[in-house]
Amino acid sequence: MATEATAHGGYLDILRAPHAARLLTGTLVGRLPNGVGPIALTLFVRDQGGSYTLAGGLIAAYGVATAVGQPLLGRAVDLKGQPRVQLPAAVLSALGMVLLALAGIGHLAVAYAAVVIAGLFTPPLEGGLRALWPSVLGREDRVHRAYALDAVAQEVMFTVGPLLLTLLVSLWSPAAALLVINVLGVLGALAVVLSEPSRAWRSAPREAHWLGALRSPGLLALLGSFFFVGLALGSITVAALSYADDVGTPSVYGWLMAALGLGALLGGVAYGARPWAGAPEKRLRILVLLLAVCYLPLTLTPGPVAMTGLSVLSGVFLAPVLACAFIVVDRHAPTGTVTEAFSWLVTTFGVGSALGSAVAGPAVELAGTVAGFAVAGAGGLVALLVLLATGRVLGAPVAPAEPAARHAVSAGGPTPVHTEKNTH
């Protein structure tokens, strides 16, 4: 039976492949502005005397704009290639945050316009990296292992990112932190698009269809579930800041966010350390159940030390959920739409996260910190219900007969990839 990853090799095997470490590192650095965006916006608004509701509103606007831009830019990448889309988008996105840092929140129209620009042009580096893995790594089992490594590496970013942001804020200010983080983002995108695999990559021919990747019922089902996973995570961003205010120690906020990322990092390492047999769609339901269960204890809001431990626990199943979802997207994406399909996952997750932030803000102000964390638990449970309700649709993936052909060809022709027929 085929499995998602073979027992031999491992993460070091992936990182030793030519270009792999550069692509992974560049993508993570390039995604840093988006990865810490909600936290950076919250700290910036609070520093300027704004309310939780305003912070939630700006985060929501940023998230919705990102949601609109990601699939459009992902489709543009599939049609035009990576360098012609990724780098200009990164520069425009950074300029949006520069505008916010310089203008402040005194003129709300300008502030909202700035975050919309930043979100709309967030480059689809995440989907782009997953589209590159087949041409870089070859065998399908190595590509699947790279998906798990990708999820783990994201959690490094989500662990280090908040700490880096907190350091920049303590050294200078939230506005200066916004500027530095976005300069780093442009440099990361530049490192990716100047690489040989990115310059050579071309999407496989795609069927002309106005829905693009969204014509896949299985992909739609997965996106519906991940909307609520995003909602859960977005609500934690606001609820954790409220908790830090309650205990009178603002630095606790950064530690809670870093602890959540650390938990996901540990879970991702454990998940990727072994091969997995069976259909990933079934495994995803179990992982989402465990994720939802681990969100619920956050409503206890104990002291800072215990709360940090609960934050670690709440993140343990996030990276495994993401890694498994990447495989599901790969199995359900129509031919020639891989970047767009992965971008839709990012989009849906971002919309859910934005809504979670927008809902958690008023919930905290009306009913306290516990209500904010309760939104997270509810989001995780609804995500599970969506997967259970759409089990039949998810059980019928697109025939994955030549994943390499579905993903990409190099500039000189098809990239040879040794694949296995799906036997899940």
In-domain check, residue 420: no
- Asked whether residue 4 is assigned to any structural domain, the reply reads no
pLDDT confidence of residue 210: 57
Give the integer Cα–Cα distance in Å for 137 and 149. 13
Contact 254, 40 (CB under 8 A): no
Q: Please indicate, yes or no, if residue 38 is contained in any of the structural domains.
A: yes
Computed on alpha carbons and rounded to an integer, the radius of gyration of the chain in Å comes to 20
8 A C-beta contact, residue 214 and residue 220:
yes
Region 388-412: mean pLDDT is 60
| CATH number for position 107 | 1.20.1250.20
Q: What is the pLDDT of residues 137-165, one digit of tens each?
A: 877 778 878 888 888 887 777 778 888 99
The residue that leads in pLDDT, 144 or 394, is 394
Q: Does residue 156 lie in a domain region?
A: yes
User: Does residue 70 have a pLDDT over 80?
Assistant: yes
Give me the mean pLDDT over the 402-412 stretch. 43
Question: Is the CB of residue 328 less than 8 Å from the CB of residue 4?
Answer: no
User: How far, CA to CA in Å, does 63 sit from each of 18, 81, 184?
Assistant: 34, 25, 20
pLDDT of 414 above 70: no
pLDDT at position 421 over 70: no
Residue 28 lies in a domain: yes
pLDDT score for 78: 85
Q: Residue 43: inside a domain, yes or no?
A: yes
CA angle 79, 83, 86 (to 5 degrees): 85
**Could you read off the pLDDT of 212-269 as tens digits, one per residue?**
678 888 899 999 999 999 999 989 988 998 999 888 888 888 889 889 888 988 888 8
- Does residue 2 form part of some domain? no
Contact 144, 327 (CB under 8 A): yes
CA 40 vs CA 34, 95, 418: distances in Å: 10, 15, 43
Find the domain containing 294 and state its range: 11-414
pLDDT above 90: residue 330: no
154-205 tens-digit pLDDT: 777 777 888 899 899 999 999 999 999 999 999 999 999 999 999 998 876 6
Domain count of the chain?
1
Mean pLDDT lowest among 59-73, 86-100, 326-340, 382-396: 326-340
Evaluate whether residue 347 is within a structural domain. Answer: yes
Kindly list the strands in the beta sheet with 413-414, ordered across the sheet, starting from the edge strand earlier in the chain: 202-203, 408-410, 413-414
